[in-house]
Structure 1
Amino acid sequence: MDVPVRIPTGVKGFDEIIEGGLLPGKTYLLTGPPGSGKTTFSMHFLLEGARKGENTAYFSLIHDPLEAVKDMARFDPSVWSYVKSGKIFLQDYGKTLWKVAGKPPTWGSVLMSIREIAASQRVSRLVVDPITAIDFSNTNPAEKRAQLANFIRTIEEMGVTAILVAELTDLDKYTEEYYLAEGVIMLHYFMDDTVGDMVRGVQVLKMRRTRHETRIFPLKFTDRGLVVTQ
């Protein structure tokens, strides 16, 4: 049996719990509450690719993408050199799609832009942050699922490994992206009464063609960024 090729995420300790990394050319959902580390996790992923000579892209739907770079630079200042060289391409949709349309961007408009940029920049890794800012052009659940399925399939047909960041809104309700993504990584940020403090954790809810545990692993911010411990 052939062993699938894996690509590292750049998050220390995480790849060990998913058989060495992510499957290339697939789309993954990264979700969690505010402050859980979603953007930092995503920047680790892009920085790891840039270090290996890949072209990567960060598509920000709301915030100035430079803020994400500034946050990452606290842990690894080398991120600036990759941004300046274009190995980490930054796209600020907060200034384009939102202001031009005057309303949340649709899947179609974002997908068209991503396809153009990914092709022109020869991107192999990308992050869309957050996809929950994208509006559906149709309120019918079946149509929403079809639009998202087309969005994910188009990205995968380009051979790009993608992380779609989503704000966690309802723990009891899984939306379409949970079912359509190749894998679902959930970050946690909660009060641990045993230590009397807020703690972070990471949980792999789903990862196709991968043996993984579903328990929550401790996740910590260190002077080098996020670290997963066993």
Structure 2
Amino acid sequence: MGLPERIPSGIKGFDEIIEGGLLPGKTYLLIGPPGSGKTTFAMQFLIEGARRGERVAYVSLIHNPNEVVKDMARFDPSVWIYVKSGKLILCDFGKDLWRRSGKPPSWGGVLMQVRELAERNRISRLVIDPLTAIEFQTSDPAEKKAELSNFIRAIEDLNVTTFLVAELTDLDKYTEEHYIADGVIMLHYFMSEDGSEMVRAVQVLKMRRTKHLTRMFAVKFSSGGLVVLDESPLGEA
């Protein structure tokens, strides 16, 4: 049996960590604290798909997606070309769902709109940002696990490669047993040992069917966006 097909992530230096790229049609959890670069990482993933002629979608559950694109345009102005051509579809689900019910989005409400979006537009890549805006309908841990598991399985049934973005500060809602996703990518953002600057890093905690490296890799913002470096963020040799 040959190696599984891979698709490029769009983040320079990242695919070398995960055997050449992402598995298509799978769901990946992208977590990290505020300021770690999660949305930029996810947008680069979408732009890579649009650049290859795919139709991709950014689903916002809190922020105005146009503001997200403005931020991304600082690194890659071509993002506006893909938006205007319909290759990159922006969806403000948070505004629609909050206005409709007056309550935070539910798993079922988000899933219904995502399914319609993907099927109507034949989406190949999807970002939902942030996952932690979705409210559980129960406080029971087992029912929460089932709710999240059913959501991810339904997303994968669409055969869309998906990044689910989640704030690290809210991960008490998403304990280790809830990681039903095929991959968990963690972005770090912390003070350097000498206290002179904030340091960013990426770490692949889990990646099914992939011999991935597990140590932290330094991440820098370049003129084109995030770049993963083959070096430790701690300055180790």
- What TM bracket, shorter-length normalisation? over 0.9
Secondary structure of 1:9's match? coil
Sort the Cα spacing of 1:60 and 1:214 in 2 relative to 1 into closer, same or farther, 3 A.
same
Match of 1:96 in 2: 96
Q: 1:134 aligned to 2:134?
A: yes
Aligned residues: 230
Distance 2:177 2:131 in 1: 9
Secondary structure of 2:57's match? strand
Q: 1:9 aligned to 2:9?
A: yes
Aligned-pair CA distance for 1:194: 3.6
Provide the alpha-carbon RMSD of the alignment.
1.6
Segments of 4+ moved more than 6 angstroms: 170-173
Match of 2:234 in 1: none
Q: 1:199 aligned to 2:199?
A: yes
Match of 2:37 in 1: 37
Q: 1:25 aligned to 2:33?
A: no
Identity percentage of aligned residues: 70
Distance 1:178 1:187 in 2: 18
Match of 2:144 in 1: 144
TM-score (norm 2): 0.93
Aligned-pair CA distance for 1:166: 0.2
**Residues 175-214 of structure 1 correspond to what in structure 2 (within 5 A)?**
175=175, 179-194=179-194, 196-214=196-214
Distance 1:177 1:47 in 2: 31
Secondary structure of 2:48's match? helix
TM-score (norm 1): 0.96
Secondary structure of 1:96's match? helix
Match of 1:218 in 2: 218
**Residues 25-174 of structure 1 correspond to what in structure 2 (within 5 A)?**
25-169=25-169
Unmatched 5+ residue regions in structure 2? 231-237
Sort the Cα spacing of 1:118 and 1:173 in 2 relative to 1 into closer, same or farther, 3 A.
closer
Distance 2:211 2:178 in 1: 18
Aligned-pair CA distance for 1:170: 6.5
Would you say the 8 A contact 1:178–1:184 is kept in 2? no
Distance 2:159 2:77 in 1: 29
Sort the Cα spacing of 1:172 and 1:133 in 2 relative to 1 into closer, same or farther, 3 A.
closer
Aligned-pair CA distance for 1:179: 2.0
